[in-house]
Structure 1
Amino acid sequence: MPAAEEPTSGMNSVVDNICRLPPDLFTETSQHILVYLQGHTSGIDSAEISHKFLQAGVGLNHEAQQEIIRFLLLTFRSAGQRNISADELVSKLEEGSLKWSKASLQVLHRLWSEQGAAVHAQQEVQAALRIGQVVDVQWRLGMAVSSDICRSLNSPYVTLLLKIAEPSGLICQKSFEMSVPQFQNFHKQFKEMAALMETV
């Protein structure tokens, strides 16, 4: 939980910014993060959240918006891991900063009462797995015409780009190259996995 023994000016600044949000926008932002923590989305779309802030006329810079998202993500994830009640969550937040508005705490209490158990269940699953989730796969066929060693290579290759949602919520990219026979073997193994998954 981001609550500390003594409230820091950084935390108070984030809380001030949260309390400046209209309750419906704060609810929507929190809901976006809770949906991710329940495993229903592959990541947190901060661009979408930023767009909602802009539409609502909230004058926070990008860094302040990111701090709100990180704070809520850390708060909800920590509460889910500890399996605390909505009352405990609000109490810990009040201990961490005296700047909370009643409306903001009510939003958090209501959302956590409704969705805290689902977040906790997903946190337990993620703790057991601790692996990323493939979000997107892109591939490209290319032709290597030469290299440092060989002047006339003329060898086809396949480049794969995997977008992976890490357990932290960040989306990273991994790319690698394979020869065409390696790619065909890779494809064959994926088809076998898909067939096995259909039987489950």
Structure 2
Amino acid sequence: MPTGEDSQGVTKVVESISQLSPDLLADACQHILFYLSGQTRGVESAHISDRFQRAGVRLDHDVLQNIVRFLLLTFRSAGKSNLSADNLVSKLEEGSNKWPKASLQVMHKLWSEHGALVHAQQEVQAMLSISQLVDLQWKLCMAVSSDTCRSLNSPYVCLLLKIIEPSGQICQRSFEMTIPQFQNFHKQLKEMATVMETV
């Protein structure tokens, strides 16, 4: 049972969703459902934001992120519980009485089409809930000033990793390595690639 604060949060998200036309809501939901059914590698909030802006809907970044998180959680939870489209709509109505009828119809239709695929994918992901590396970029840099480093003008490597977390959100992580550390890292990657070729 949601607490008063939780239900207020749901109501705010639902009020934000109610600003969307059925077509925009369907587009956002499909983007998320394609990810949850294993057809895409992640949920690009930037894609959803661009689509909204082209349609003239301007939402604050946090509001958009809350909508994406809510839809991800809703569909993922419905997939794990193997809910029917009717049961999903009932749960949404229980969570908030602010749902527009047109929005519930969109959710019902899309869940009828994608629910079984999402359920199957959720069962697979339950066994494999780890992050995935999508992209790795590196650049050679030079330290020119530092409060703590004694040896300036020494080269280092800056790595940027793009990772899909189990939640579906794409995040970036960056860190720095000395040249010997990077050479060792490169050697380990080559060894892993060799081992994977034999599998």
For Structure 1 versus Structure 2, the TM-score category normalised by the shorter chain is 0.7 to 0.9
2:48 aligned with 1:80, yes or no? no
Give me the whole-angstrom Cα distance separating, in 2, the residues matched to 1:33 and 1:94: 20
Structure 2 unaligned regions, length at least 5: none
* Counterpart for residue 175 of structure 1: 175
Query: What letter matches 2:86 in structure 1?
Result: D
Give me the whole-angstrom Cα distance separating, in 1, the residues matched to 2:156 and 2:60: 44
Query: What letter matches 1:108 in structure 2?
Result: M
TM-score by structure 1 length? Answer: 0.79
* Counterpart for residue 136 of structure 2: 137
CA offset digits 1:105-139 (Å, max 9, x no partner):
12111211221222223223332222111121112
* Counterpart for residue 109 of structure 2: 110
Give me the whole-angstrom Cα distance separating, in 1, the residues matched to 2:36 and 2:122: 7
Give me the whole-angstrom Cα distance separating, in 2, the residues matched to 1:105 and 1:73: 16
RMSD (Å) for aligned C-alpha atoms: 3.0
Taking only the aligned residue pairs, the percentage that are identical comes to 62
Offset at residue 76 of structure 1 (A): 1.0
Give me the whole-angstrom Cα distance separating, in 1, the residues matched to 2:26 and 2:109: 10
Give me the whole-angstrom Cα distance separating, in 2, the residues matched to 1:175 and 1:40: 30
TM-score by structure 2 length? Answer: 0.79
CA contact (8 A) 1:90 1:105 kept: yes
Change over 3 Å in CA distance of 1:155–1:69 after alignment to 2: closer
* Counterpart for residue 161 of structure 1: 160
Instruction: Tell me the matched-pair count.
Output: 196
Change over 3 Å in CA distance of 1:87–1:19 after alignment to 2: same
Moved over 6 A (4+): 144-150
Query: What letter matches 1:52 in structure 2?
Result: R
